[in-house]
Every structure is written in C-alpha cells, then in structure tokens.
Amino acid sequence: MDALVTNTLLVTMDPDVSGATGALGIVDDGAVGWVDGEITYVGPASEVDAAADRIVDGGGCLTLPGLVNAHVHGRQTILRGAAQDVPEIEWMTRALGPIADHATAADGVVGARLTAIEALASGTTTLGEYATNVSELVASVYRPHGLRVVATETISEVTADRSDRDPDEPYPLDDAAGTAALDRAESLFERFADDPLVEPAYGPQALDMVSLDRLETITDRAREADRTVHVHVAQGDRERKQIAARYGDGATTVGILKREGLLGDHLLAAHLHGATPTERDQLADAGVRMVGCPSSITAIDGVVPPVVEYRDVGGVVGLGTDQAPGPGGHDALREARTSAMVTKAAHADPTALDAAGALQLATVGGARALGIADRVGTLTPGKRADVVCCDLTRPSIAPCVREPFHTAIPNLVYGGGDVVQDVFVDGVQVVSAGGIVGVDVDAVVTEAAERARRIFDDAAADWRAADSALVDAADRGRL
C-alpha cells in the first residue's frame, strides 16, 4: 500500500465493511489504506496484511470519508459580510448586487481561493462549485489545491444588473447570453473529460432565469450523455414572483418542470424551501436529487430548507454552504451542525435530525446528490481515498469516550471547529497537522482583504442608492 491510516476510530459510512458495526459502519480500532488513490483496505487494524510505504498514526483521531459540500458559489467569498440581515426580497438585488457589481474576475479567483482554504480546513474534499466561467476557477484554484470538484457552469439569460427591476415584472431574457453560456458548459465537459478530480455539470440557474426552450435543450443533452443538471428550484419569494409573472398566477417552478417533462434523476435541485409537500413527493418520486443549504437559506429567507422532509419521502439529499456573504462561509462541519440544530427547532423535535444523520448528509448524502457516490462518500474498498482525520483531543471536542457509546460522533457534529488534522484527496495529502499543504494562507487572506476594501469603497455610492435595510443599519451604527 502507498499509505495506511491506522489505530483510529473509523466512521466509514458503510455498514458492510469488514469489522464495522451499526449504520455508520464504525470500526473501533480501524485502518484504511490505499494504492494509487484507490482504497484497498478498510477494517480492523489488527487484520491489515499488506505493508505500507507510509504509516499515518490515527491514535486519538476519528477518521471518516471526506466531507462533500454539494452547492457552493466560491467567488462570492471575497464579499463575505456584504449582504445579511435584510428582507429576502432585497438580498440579491439591493444588498449583494450593488457591491458584487464592482468585483472583477480576478477578485472572484481570490474569493475562490479563500473558499478552497476554508473547505479543506474543515475536512471538505469535494466541492460542488456553481459559477460562470467555472473552468477558470477549476484550473486556477480547485485543481491546484488538490480538491475534487463537481464543476457546474452557470447558464443564465438574465442580465447581471437586476437592482432596479420590479420583482413582479419578468426579467427580460437574452437568448444570445444563454447560447454563450451553454457553449461554455459544453467546453467544460470537453476540457475536463479525462480529469479524475473534475466532474462537469450543467447549471441552468433557475426557471425564472432561462427560457423553457433552453432548459429543454439542456435536459435532452443531459439525459443522452448521463450528465447532471444542477438548478436552483423553489428558492423563495423572489423566484415565486418571477414564475407567477412569467407563467401566470398559481404557476410554480415544480409545477412547470413537471408539466414539461423535465423532472428525472438527472436533476439536482438546490434549496426547495418554496416547494409544497406534494411537490416534494413528486420530485422524490421522479428521482430528483436535492441539496439543502440550511445556513444560507435560514439567514437569507428566514426558513429552514426541507432536508429531513425530502429524505423521509425517499429523496437523495446532500448539504451545501451556498455562499459566504449571507451565512458566513464554507465550513462543512459547521453546516452539518447548523442543519441539525435548525431542523430540531423547525420541527420542535430534538430527534428530527441527529448527529449521525447530519454526518451522513455531509458525506455519503452529498456524494449521492452530486452523482459521484460510486467514487466517494464512504470509506469502501474500490472507492477513491478521500479521507479525513479529526483530532479528538482538541478542547472543542474533548473528552471523547467509546463506552457505552461513541461520544466522538455527536462531539464532532455539535462541538467547536478546528478539529481537522489531516486530509487526503485521491490519496494525496492536502492538509497536514491542520495546515494547508503548499499554500501561503496569510498571503491569500492579505490579498483578499486588500481587494475587498477596494470593492466596498468603489461600491459605496451604488450600495447607498439601492437603499437596502443594511443602509439604515449602518447609519444607526449597527454595522
């Protein structure tokens, strides 16, 4: 073997591996090893029968599959703090938009670098990045950092500036913009066809932002080539108003998709907090996958996305952090905790989403949602070696005991941060002793701060003219 993590508490997410117990596939004194990035052994450390070139002592650690953050807009991390605590109808057009309009492509790359650093530091090995010109971010950020990425090219026919649009009037659509975006998506598939760490996907942004003809074309291509179509679906009041304006009173995103025959297991739907229970049943029955972003949607919409409801009707569900300006960032362990906590509160039931369930959503659930569960999401022989070791002796998670049950699992989900010690992606170490391998983190942070100051300074007049609730908050000294 190339490497072996041994003498560790394994949480494999695969109940069928050798020596595992329970639904999470726990091995008390376990080991996981790999050759050429492929897992070749998972099970008790005492039963390893092959030598390893490198031994990683997992004593005092919980070792689990790499976390999967299934829905991310990484460029926007350069705008962290720009838009929060405003009415949902204002968030995109009056709060974030006037500032985002002043960010350059180069600014976005630095934002993505911050995203990658935060992701790796929290044990994330796969990002579902959703961006315009996403190939730029893959080539300049995510691949150099060693991350696995499901790269989704945004396809929109709406102009970027929507700050002065009446939310009850349909956005004008630009066919040429949609054609150019779809061409970029096809180029993405060609460019990364043979890259084992990149899985391209189509990203028609939302039903109110592309024409039905465009969405039908994308769907036909996806079905023919077995590709994923990643769409924001039923994501709040702004979208509801737009769908009603474009398709008539009473029309809904899910209803239109169902009517037009666009549902199926090719579809990954982000958010769904505006879908009715009946619509969620229809989506799950059609095989539509879901990614919920509880931190983002709770912060922006003041509602809890239906991750448990969708799971409980048989739907595939993963978790995403969405974007940094509203909820704060891209710490996948924090997202798992937030998911459990807000779900408990929404249901008035502390058992609604337990620690084990939240950890499943952040690992195998995310892999299934992104359509890559044949490669990652569990520690299983034959899958890729995306492996995370968490230090159980850190003050925010200690003490951990194994009898009469493993407190390490709830401590990991509900405890504090800064517990990730080592991270491997495809068998390559990308985090060592908590540090990002080969990355000058201080330099990235310094550059991001300089760029953010310039963006916010340049945007000040436009931001004030847009007159979101944040303007009043700033004037009253709350910001």
pTM score? 0.96
Torsional class of 52: left (φ above 0), alpha (ψ -120 to 50), beta (otherwise): beta
Domains with residue ranges and CATH for the chain: 3-65+377-436 (2.30.40.10), 67-370 (3.20.20.140)
- For 433, half-sphere exposure in the C-beta direction (CA atoms, 13 angstrom radius) is 1
Q: Which two tokens stand for residue 9?
A: 């508490």
pLDDT at 165: 65
Count of C-beta atoms within a 10 Å radius of residue 276: 12
pLDDT at 168: 79
Three-state DSSP at 189 gives: helix
Longest dimension (CA), the chain: 68
pLDDT in tens, 35-52: 999 999 999 999 999 999
pLDDT band at 416 (very low <50, low <70, confident <90, very high): confident
- Does residue 163 register a pLDDT over 80? no
- Does residue 202 register a pLDDT over 70? yes
Rg of the Cα trace of the chain? 22
Compute the average pLDDT of residues 402-423. 94
pLDDT at 170: 85
Per the CB < 8 A criterion, the answer to whether 65 and 376 are in contact is: yes
pLDDT in tens, 281-304: 999 999 999 999 999 999 999 999
pLDDT at 161: 56
Give the mean pLDDT of the chain: 96
Whole-number percent of the chain with pLDDT over 70: 99
Distance (Å, whole) CA 342 – CA 357: 14
Eight-class DSSP state of 240: H
pLDDT in tens, 354-386: 999 999 999 999 999 999 999 999 999 999 999
Compute the average pLDDT of residues 166-186. 91
